[in-house]
Amino acid sequence: MTTTTTPAGGQTAQQTTERRDWAALERTYYQHTFNRQLVMERGEGVRVWDANGTVYLDLVAGIATNVLGHAHPRVVQAIVEQAPKLIHVSNLYINERQVELAEQLYQVSGGMRSFFSNSGAEANEGAIKLARKFGRLHRDGAYEILSMDRSFHGRTLATTAATGQKKYQETWAPLPDGFRQVPFNDLEAVKVATTAKTVGILVEAVQGEGGIWPASHAYMQGLRQWCDEQRLVLICDEVQAGMGRTGTFFSWEPMGMRPDIITMAKGLAGGVPIGAMLAAPRADLFEPGDHGTTFGGNPIACAAGVATIRTIVEEGLLAHATAMGAYLGERLEGLATKYPAHITSTRGVGLMRAFDLAEPRAQEIMDGALARGVLITNAGPATIRLVPPLIIQPGDIDEAVAQVDDVLAAL
């Protein structure tokens, strides 16, 4: 073993040839916020390798984040070209990549302007602030946001208050005021809950963490109409469903309506941390001093974002996601038919798929798939969620389904 000792007395990892027990070190040095064992070392396309050299087919994709898979050459090249030029510059100055990414989002959103942050929660925080400004200016100081049961909007206090799942909220009371949840896909519930205090409606057109539940088109159109009638803002959280995952750039696109505010993150920069909050002219109300960020819209993240969107558009990945999503859906239906005692239903849009289990055995199924070289995730104890990269091929889907079939057969 060759090591050098740092002035603080620790060992520098790069200069240590002895294998380190990363899982044990993680337990020592990292807060216990995640229950995890597997040490991931590198990835390429739809595959990822652990520190022992075991390869996995990755249908988790950073939870709907590595939309172009791992180490996509165009994302890598964008980062490598940008890094020597400018890694970071304050938002006191314009950076070219940030403007380019905003320009692309303006085009794909039909004329909405961007504000960049670092995560989905932060993007939603920006949307909440913007809605409150709208309320101050146009609705007598209204500030309350209606969001949906089973929704997920992030882990900050405000986005926890907006999240419609008690398990994320219970421990953190008191949560910030100004948030109420109503049942999803129920327009009447929104109407009944709207008061003089209400300023906006926050909705995922396809709920992700809650278990892949698409909104009905009529519901989304009804929300739009209600917002117009009542002078409210309609916010679509596209953090998980956006970036082509459902086969269109935004998941609300086929639903016959347009939001006033869109939030994005996850896949926007192909795996580099970024968030975005887009505003249509009606809600584009921020002025200098209203909102800000040190890192948001950083040149590296935006360079990766520009490359990611270009690749999705130029390589026809929206149509590909639609086709692969339909195929994955069919194959999951096949599993449901074969294992009626285990799978009670399947659903999804594009490459955002789920199946429900008769019993809360999601962890067992994930563990079984992992042991067979396939990474899948869950949405609660009785739902399996599949959010693979948009570049996935039919052969990969066949391989994943065969392994999950094997797991189900062994249950």
Task: Report the interface residues with ligand PLP, using CB under 6 A.
Answer: 119-121, 124, 152-154, 204, 208-209, 237, 239-240, 265
Residue with tokens 């739902």: 383
Q: Which is nearer to ligand PLP, 104 or 240 (CB)?
A: 240
Sign of CA dihedral 32, 356, 386, 400: positive
Q: Which is nearer to ligand PLP, 158 or 407 (CB)?
A: 158
Residues whose CB is less than 8 angstroms from the CB of residue 259 and which lie 6 or more positions away in sequence, other chains included? 224, 234, 235, 236, 252, 280
Minimum distance of ligand PLP from residue 241's CB (angstroms): 7
Between CA 333 and CA 350 the distance in angstroms is: 14
Look up residue 169 and give its two tokens.
């909220």
Q: Which is nearer to ligand PLP, 45 or 120 (CB)?
A: 120
399-405's contacts with Cβ under 8 Å and 24+ in sequence apart are 399/57, 399/374, 400/57, 400/59, 400/369, 400/374, 400/376, 401/328, 401/331, 401/332, 401/334, 401/335, 403/57, 403/369, 403/372, 403/373, 403/374, 404/335, 404/365, 404/369, 404/374, 404/376, 405/335, 405/338
Q: Which is nearer to ligand PLP, 239 or 374 (CB)?
A: 239
Minimum distance of ligand PLP from residue 156's CB (angstroms): 8
Minimum distance of ligand PLP from residue 24's CB (angstroms): 27
Q: Which is nearer to ligand PLP, 268 or 343 (CB)?
A: 268
Q: Which residue is nearest to ligand PLP (CB)?
A: 120
Minimum distance of ligand PLP from residue 289's CB (angstroms): 24
What SS3 class is residue 160?
Answer: helix
Minimum distance of ligand PLP from residue 123's CB (angstroms): 7
Q: Which is nearer to ligand PLP, 240 or 246 (CB)?
A: 240
Going by their DSSP bridges, the two strands 352-357 and 113-117 should be labelled as unpaired
Residue with tokens 């869950």: 378
Minimum distance of ligand PLP from residue 206's CB (angstroms): 9
Q: Which is nearer to ligand PLP, 109 or 124 (CB)?
A: 124
Minimum distance of ligand PLP from residue 245's CB (angstroms): 11
Centre a 10 Å sphere on the Cβ of residue 102 and count the other Cβ atoms it contains: 21
